[in-house]
Amino acid sequence: MAVKLNFEELKITFDGDVTSPISFSCEDGDIVALILSRDFYDKALLNFLHFLPDEYEGNAVFQGKEFKLFTQEDKHNWQKTFASLTMHYPLINNLKVVENVYLPIFYRENAKEELLFEKAYNILTQLGIEKKYNQLPALLSNFEKKLAIFARVKMLEPAIIYYGNVFAELDEDKRQYLSGKILEFHAEREDRVSIVTARSENELKEIKFNKIIKV
Amino acid sequence: MIRSLLNYLFEKLLGGTYNLVSFLVIIIEKFFENFPKGYFALRKLVLKQIYFSGFEALKLTFELGIFMGIVIVTQIASFIKGLGGINLIGKILVIALIREVMPLFMAIILIARSGTAITSELGLMKVNGEITALKALGIEPIYYVVFTRILAFTISIFAITMIASFVAVTTGSFALFMFEKVSFADFYEALFLNMSIFDIVLFSLKNIAFGVAIPLVCCFYGLSIKKGVTEIPQMSTKAVLSSFFYVFLLNVMLDFLVLIWQ
């Protein structure tokens, strides 16, 4: 599936505030950095990309179709295409880590739990947190929570991923580790688009981006 | 001043009930919009909730059933000894214990035990952003979190009230045998002869009504939390008090309904 995302002078209204104009475009295989000056822009973009509200100015186009004109089927397809790794949408605290990882697919596809468990466990192993599979999220460190949310994203196999300020408060070792995993996942699909946000370019020095946009 | 006080009470009572009924309508709408999506995920969650609300309450159910059985049956027996004999005991047991006391009593126990837990859990989920996270993952929170709790709670309250009633009646029969020398055969004959379809219908209706009302109220207050964790204890208290109110209100309404029907 070819992926093309294009934002032109996009101003999003969220929580009583409006973002500055955001303009960028993504082709298949792009890895894009968004340097966002405020946490509000992250939340607004996440809310926009997940819930597709009509309250925005400018243009937001996916595969040639304006977001405002999406039909129910388009919205459904978009939901299958897009996923995010952000602490704004955390793990569910009364589910174990492995249950959190396969919950969206378990719900969406009514698949057999045993098969999903195996796949989820393998993903947790790839990320190095398989020993925490049976624990509740409250017992994980912040970095482990990020990795568990990443496992949840990987389980969904999306074409467009939004990494919302994931390098914040991480030391260099953890930043390098996470960057490596992001690049590995990005390379798994030729048409995959990765959008990585941060407060400064300094946080993103481990990754080589096609585009760097400042908002 | 009286007028404004009456207005205030009217608004509080009707406004609160209107909100809850609207919430119930939304839950039903979301159910029909989404079912059978996530059937296996929901089934797992319902079974988990039945375990917490029902199975884990079994020990308490048995203990309360035993105490209620001994106390109520022996007190009734000592009060009406000689007035109507064993037949009257059977009639009063059906009305007092099975129709009235057990459903109401178990509802109160479950409000205290599970109602506060539901409100706190959903409140924390709201404050932590987990409800929004579920939406972002394409999972409808009302369908996944609220509907499952209502279904599980209804099944649990029905089951444990039946168990409590059975235990109460059984221990009551033993107590009567020991203290009043009433045979088991006479006791159970009197009990079943005095039990009609109305009693079974009323027992069932009460358990279903309480099973829907209690988690509905508790989920409503849990999801109403906006500011932060400090609101959680306040909302838990409101949920418990509201649940008591609606359980007693429904109890009276259903009694009247069956009375008219009879």
Stronger pLDDT, B190 or A26, i.e. the higher one = A26
Smallest CA–CA distance, residue A113 to chain B, in Å, is: 8
Task: Give pLDDT < 50 ranges for chain B.
Answer: none
The confidence score (pLDDT) of residue B172 equals: 86
pTM of the model: 0.89
Task: Look at B129 and A107 and tell me if their CB atoms are within 8 Å.
Answer: no
Q: Does B144 touch chain A (CB under 8 A)?
A: yes
Asked if the model's pLDDT at residue A132 lies above 70, the reply is: yes
Smallest CA–CA distance, residue A107 to chain B, in Å, is: 4
The confidence score (pLDDT) of residue B72 equals: 82
Chain A residues interacting with chain B (CB cutoff of 8 angstroms): 46, 50-51, 79, 84, 88-94, 103-104, 106-108, 110-113, 152
Instruction: Please report residues of A whose CB lies closer than 8 A to that of B121.
Output: 94
pLDDT, averaged across chain A: 92
Instruction: Please report residues of A whose CB lies closer than 8 A to that of B133.
Output: 89-92
Domain boundaries, chain B: 2-261
At position A53, the amino acid (one-letter code) is P
The confidence score (pLDDT) of residue A112 equals: 86
Write down the ipTM of this complex: 0.92
Asked if the model's pLDDT at residue A152 lies above 80, the reply is: yes
Task: Look at A113 and B40 and tell me if their CB atoms are within 8 Å.
Answer: yes
Query: How does residue A202 score in pLDDT terms, banded at 50, 70 and 90?
Result: confident
Instruction: Please report residues of A whose CB lies closer than 8 A to that of B44.
Output: 113
